[in-house]
């Protein structure tokens, strides 16, 4: 079959994000921050206090880091050496779902099962040593309300997690109880942070000029250092990091695919921005648009992922063999080269829109931090597979920064902070006890 040209054009139009559109998003994002700083209930973002500022870079010692928030859980034993240096002493990683074996995040799973699994991984990392004292930093990458650095209550699951008995609970209480059940009394959780906060801490431990940390992966979210907030219960330097939970930013215009997907998602109405930009969701939008092109509207292509989109976009060969392979195996159609080209264009458009919207949110924060003054030279620290591996993302962020910031774009770039969500937890633990 050959795709209907009009339909294709229409779909491509849905995914375009012009300079005017992203400028409006950046400006609305800034306004939403301003509203939230005055009264958080008037912002569409949660803007959660983290009770931590920036590290000095001098934090040292051995700490455990539990990194929980995506498809894999990691527990890492770090040695912080100061001057931005650190070493991994031991590293254990396991998926939260193994098809046919176990699933700790699906509807039937319980808090106890999930946290027992985490305790087991911690036990593996300390190699059964139930004597030596360990302080643990916990990167828990979901919206949590805190009243100090160690007390974090899960407000609501995001990223389609659905384990029962965790929402509304203090996560480190659940963890401590699971450690006890396993006979581990020597591991003390001392800090809970969001993964964006972890990335910011990790990047700021190693570099100067870092005020914004972001995750661009399965989920999407950003935090920044707000200099005006001080709290006696906070630790670290110069203000407090706010976890924006900007996946929930609402002041932007979704297209018809965004709206249709939201309605059938695990939590309709929530995380509208994240559902437009992150890896977990871009592939859903992609699948829905392909279904329209194939006159199979409403059909869901199981197993079509962001990794497939990345393979499709990377295939620049004449016959688009890779694209053809992916579409045949995941969508069940053998298509002509002209249609395969359109599929590649579509994947690119979805990714480019995502990168441009994410950049607009960074610019909103940069404008807000600058206030009436000059934008200071800075790096926005980012971690996550979409930022790191998805073709077109980094160059489109750079381009959009140029469009929105003009000459000031020289002062701003994004840098990859690989593994920051683990290292940041160890740094937070050090900041909590030192
Ligand atoms: C989701 C979570 C947020 C996290 C982000 C990236 O948006 O709500 O807390 O930072 O995913 O993992």
For position 121, what pLDDT does the model report?
A: 98
* Each residue's pLDDT tens digit, 320-345: 999 999 999 999 999 999 999 999 99
Confidence bin at 70 (pLDDT 50/70/90): confident
H/E stretch holding 28 = helix 19-38
Ligand 1 close to Cβ of residue 86 (< 6 A): no
SS3 144: strand
Q: What is the pLDDT of residue 266?
A: 86
Whether residue 259 is predicted with pLDDT greater than 80 in this model: the reply is yes
Average pLDDT over residues 389-400: 98
- What confidence category does residue 45 fall into, taking pLDDT thresholds of 50, 70 and 90? very high
**pLDDT by residue (tens digit) across 190-210?**
999 999 999 999 999 999 999
Of the candidates 153, 247, 234, the one whose C-alpha atom is nearest the C-alpha of residue 196 is 247
Q: Is the CB of 159 under 6 A from ligand 1?
A: yes
In the predicted model, is pLDDT for residue 232 greater than 90? no
pLDDT tens per residue, range 92-111: 999 999 999 999 999 999 99
Residue with CA at minimum distance from ligand 1 atom 2: 142
Q: Is 143 in the pocket of ligand 1 (CB under 6 A)?
A: yes
Residue among 44, 47, 48, 141 to mutate when testing ligand 1 (max atoms within 8 A of CB): 141
Dihedral over Cα of 72, 75, 79, 81: its sign = positive
Which of 47-51, 264-268, 388-392 is predicted with the least confidence, judged by mean pLDDT? 264-268
pLDDT at 367 over 90: yes
Whether 69 lines ligand 1, by a CB cut-off of 6 Å, is yes
Choose which residue among 72, 142, 222, 248 to substitute to test ligand 1 binding: the one with the highest number of ligand atoms within 8 A of its C-beta. 142
Tell me, using a 6 A CB cutoff, whether residue 384 lines ligand 1.
no
Mean of the per-residue pLDDT values of the chain? 96
Cβ count near 8 (within 10 Å): 19
**Above 90 in pLDDT, residue 160?**
no
| Order of strands across the sheet that contains 210-216 | 48-49, 240-243, 220-226, 210-216, 378-383, 412-416
Q: Which atom of ligand 1 is nearest to the CA of 196?
A: 10
pLDDT grade for 237, boundaries at 50, 70 and 90: confident
Average pLDDT over residues 224-253: 93
Q: What percent of the chain has pLDDT over 90?
A: 95
Q: How far is the CA of 419 from the centre of ligand 1 (A)?
A: 15
Q: At what angle do helices 306-314 and 321-331 cross, to 10 degrees?
A: 150
pLDDT band at 113 (very low <50, low <70, confident <90, very high): very high
DSSP secondary structure code for residue 152 in this structure: E
CB of 137 sitting under 6 A from ligand 1: no
Token couple for 211? 């005020």
In the predicted model, is pLDDT for residue 253 greater than 90? yes
Q: Is 157 in the pocket of ligand 1 (CB under 6 A)?
A: no
> Which tokens sit at 230?
């001080």
CA distance 25 to 395: 19
Closest approach atom of ligand 1 to CA 144 = 9
The percent of residues above 70 in pLDDT, for the chain, comes to 100
What's the whole-number mean pLDDT along residues 372-393? Answer: 97
Is any ligand 1 atom within 6 A of the Cβ of residue 194?
yes
Q: Which tokens hold the place of 45?
A: 């973002």
Can you tell me the distance from the alpha carbon of 338 to that of 130, in angstroms, rounded to the nearest whole number? Answer: 62
CA pair distance 55, 202, nearest whole angstrom: 9
Residue 161 in contact with ligand 1 by CB distance below 6 A: no
Task: Say if ligand 1 is within 6 A of residue 142 CB.
Answer: yes
Rounded CA Rg of the chain: 22
Question: What confidence tier does 44 reach under pLDDT thresholds 50, 70, 90?
Answer: very high
**Would the pLDDT of 1 be above 80?**
no
Which of the pair, 287 or 266, is modelled with greater confidence? 287
Helix/strand/coil (H/E/C) assignment for every residue in 291-302: HHHCCCCCCCCC
Residue 124: pLDDT over 80 = yes
The average pLDDT across 115-137 equals 98
Please, which pLDDT band fits residue 132 given cuts at 50, 70 and 90?
Answer: very high
Across the range 76-88, mean pLDDT stands at 96
Q: Could you tell which of 159, 249, 266, 281 is best to mutate to test the pocket of ligand 1, judged by most ligand atoms within 8 Å of the CB? A: 159
> Is the shortest distance between the CB of 383 and ligand 1 below 6 Å?
no
424, pLDDT greater than 80: yes
Centroid of ligand 1 to alpha carbon of 271 (angstroms):
9
Output the six-digit token pair for 55: 């590290």
**DSSP H helical ranges for 294-336:** 306-314, 321-331
Predicted local confidence at residue 290, as pLDDT: 98
At residue 71, the pLDDT reads 81
274 lines ligand 1 (CB under 6 A): yes
């Amino acid at each position: 079959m050959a795709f209907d040209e009009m339909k294709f054009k229409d779909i491509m139009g849905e995914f375009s994000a012009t300079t005017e559109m992203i400028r409006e998003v950046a400006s609305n994002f800034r306004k939403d921050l301003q509203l939230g700083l005055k009264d958080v209930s008037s912002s569409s973002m949660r803007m959660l206090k983290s009770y931590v500022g920036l590290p000095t870079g001098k934090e040292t010692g051995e700490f455990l880091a539990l990194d929980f928030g995506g498809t894999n859980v990691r527990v890492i034993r770090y040695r912080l050496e100061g001057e931005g240096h650190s070493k991994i002493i031991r590293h254990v990683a396991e998926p939260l779902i193994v098809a046919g074996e176990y699933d700790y995040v699906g509807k039937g799973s319980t808090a106890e099962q999930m946290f027992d699994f985490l305790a087991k991984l911690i036990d593996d990392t300390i190699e059964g040593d139930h004597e030596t004292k360990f302080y643990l930093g916990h990167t828990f990458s979901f919206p949590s309300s805190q009243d100090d650095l160690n007390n974090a209550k899960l407000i609501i699951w995001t990223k389609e997690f659905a384990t029962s008995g965790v929402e509304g609970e203090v996560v480190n209480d659940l963890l401590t109880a699971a450690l006890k059940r396993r006979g581990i009394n020597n591991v003390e959780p001392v800090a809970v942070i969001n993964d964006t906060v972890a990335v910011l801490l990790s990047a700021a431990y190693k570099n100067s000029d870092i005020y914004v940390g972001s995750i661009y992966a399965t989920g999407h979210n950003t935090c920044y250092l707000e200099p005006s907030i001080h709290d006696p219960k906070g630790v670290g330097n110069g203000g407090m990091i706010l976890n924006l939970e900007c996946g929930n930013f609402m002041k932007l215009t979704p297209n018809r695919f965004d709206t249709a997907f939201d309605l059938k998602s695990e939590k309709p109405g929530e995380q509208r921005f994240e559902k437009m930009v992150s890896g977990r969701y871009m592939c859903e939008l992609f699948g829905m648009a392909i279904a329209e092109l194939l006159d199979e509207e409403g059909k869901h292509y199981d197993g079509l992922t962001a990794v497939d989109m990345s393979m499709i976009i990377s295939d620049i060969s004449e016959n688009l063999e890779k694209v053809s392979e992916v579409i045949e195996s995941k969508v069940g159609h053998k298509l002509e080269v002209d249609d395969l080209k359109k599929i590649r264009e579509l994947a690119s458009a979805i990714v480019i829109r995502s990168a441009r919207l994410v950049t607009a949110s960074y610019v909103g924060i940069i404008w807000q931090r600058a206030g009436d003054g000059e934008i200071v030279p800075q790096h926005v620290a980012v971690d996550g597979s979409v930022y790191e591996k998805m073709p077109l993302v980094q160059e489109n962020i750079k381009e959009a920064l140029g469009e929105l910031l003009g000459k000031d774009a020289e002062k701003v770039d994004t840098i990859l902070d690989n593994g920051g969500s683990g290292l940041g937890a160890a740094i937070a633990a050090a900041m909590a006890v030192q």
